[in-house]
Chain A
Amino acid sequence: MPVEPPITSPRTLADAYAQLAEGPVTPIAGGTDLMVSLTGELGEPPERMLDLWHLDELRGIALDGDSLVLGALTTYTDLRRSSLCREHVPALVEAAATIGAAQIQNRGTIGGNAVNASPAGDTLPVLLALDATLVCGSVRGERDVPATAFWPGYRRTALAPDELLVRIRFPLVAGRASRFRKVGTRRAQSISKVVMALAYCAGTDGGLWTDVRLALGSVAPTPIRASATEAVLEGRPPIPAIAELAAETLAAELHPIDDVRSTAEYRRVVSARVLHRLIREAGGW
Chain B
Amino acid sequence: MAEVTTRTAPPAPVLVEPGTILPGRARGAVPLRREGPSKLTGAARYTDDLVVPGAWYGATIRSTDARARFSALDLDPAFDWSSVVVVTAADIPGENIVSSIKADQPILVPLGGEIQHHAEPLALLAAPDRATLRAARKAVRVRTEPLPPVFDPLESDHVFAAYEIAAGDPSAAFAAADLVLEGEYRVGHQEQLYIENQAMIAVPEDDGGVTVTGSLQCPYYVHSALKLGLGLDDREARVVQAETGGGFGGKEEYPSVVALHASLLAGKAKRPVRMIYDRHEDIAATTKRHPAIVRHRTGVTHDGRLIAQEIEVVMDGGAYCTLTPVVLSRGALHAGGPYRCPNVRIRARATRTNTPPNGAFRGFGAPQVEFAAETHLNRIAEALGLSPLEIRRRNIYQLGDTTPTGQVLRESVAAGEVLERAAEASEFERLRVQRVAAGQDRSGTGTGAASGSALLTGRERFASGVGLALAWHGAGFTGTGEVKLASVAALELTGEGAIRILTASTEMGQGSKTILPQLVAEVLGVPAEWVEAAAQDTAVVPDSGPTVASRTSMVVGGLLIKAAQRLRAEVESATGGSFAATYRDFAHSHGPRRIDQRFEPYPDTAFDDETYRGDAYPAFSWAACVARVDVDLDTGEVLVRDVVAADDVGRVIHPVLAEGQVEGGTLQAVGYATIEEIKLRDGRYLNDRLATYVIPTALDAPRITTILVEAPFSGAPHGAKGLGELPMDVGAPAVVAAIADATGAWITDLPASPERILAALADAPAVAPPRAGASEPAPPPEPGR
Contacts and interface: CB of A to CB of B under 8 A. Distances in A.
A251 interface: yes
B703 interface: no
B58 to A, nearest CB: 11
Given A187-B697, A277-B461, A247 B455 contact: yes
Closest 9 CB pairs of A and B: A272-B455, A187-B699, A247-B455, A188-B697, A188-B699, A266-B755, A273-B634, A260-B687, A277-B457
A188 B700 contact: yes
A270 B453 contact: no
Interface string B671-713: 0000100010000001100011010111110000000000000
A244 B453 CA distance: 9
Given A39-B280, A266-B755, A280-B457, A187 B692 contact: no
B152 to A, nearest CB: 20
B664 interface: no
A260 B634 contact: no
Interface string B630-653: 000011110100000000000000
Interface residues of B, number: 35
A8 interface: no
A101 interface: yes
B130 interface: yes
Contacts, number: 91
Contacts of A188: 697-700
Nearest to A271: B455
Interface in B132-147: 133-134
Given A244-B456, A260-B692, A277-B461, A1 B130 contact: yes
25 contacts: A39-B280, A183-B754, A186-B675, A186-B697, A186-B700, A187-B639, A187-B697, A187-B699, A187-B700, A188-B700, A189-B697, A247-B455, A251-B455, A260-B679, A260-B686, A265-B755, A266-B636, A269-B455, A269-B762, A272-B455, A273-B454, A273-B455, A276-B455, A276-B634, A277-B461
A183 B757 CA distance: 14
Interface residues of A, number: 35
B280 A269 contact: no
Contacts of B634: 270, 273-274, 276-277
A40 B134 contact: yes
Given A188-B699, A247-B456, A260-B679, A266 B278 contact: no
A261 B677 CA distance: 10
Interface of A: 1, 3, 36, 39-41, 101, 183, 185-191, 193, 243-244, 247-248, 251, 260-263, 265-266, 269-270, 272-274, 276-277, 280
B549 interface: no
A261 B696 CA distance: 15
Given A1-B130, A244-B453, A273-B457, 20 more contacts: A1-B57, A3-B134, A101-B697, A185-B675, A186-B675, A186-B694, A188-B699, A193-B754, A247-B455, A251-B455, A262-B754, A262-B755, A266-B755, A269-B762, A270-B636, A270-B754, A272-B455, A273-B456, A276-B457, A280-B457
B475 interface: no
Nearest to B57: A1
Which of A40, A101, A187, A248 is the most central at the interface, judged by chain B CB atoms within 10 Å of its CB? A187
A272 B455 CA distance: 5
Contacts of A189: 694, 697
B723 interface: no
Contacts of A276: 455-457, 634
A248 B244 CA distance: 53
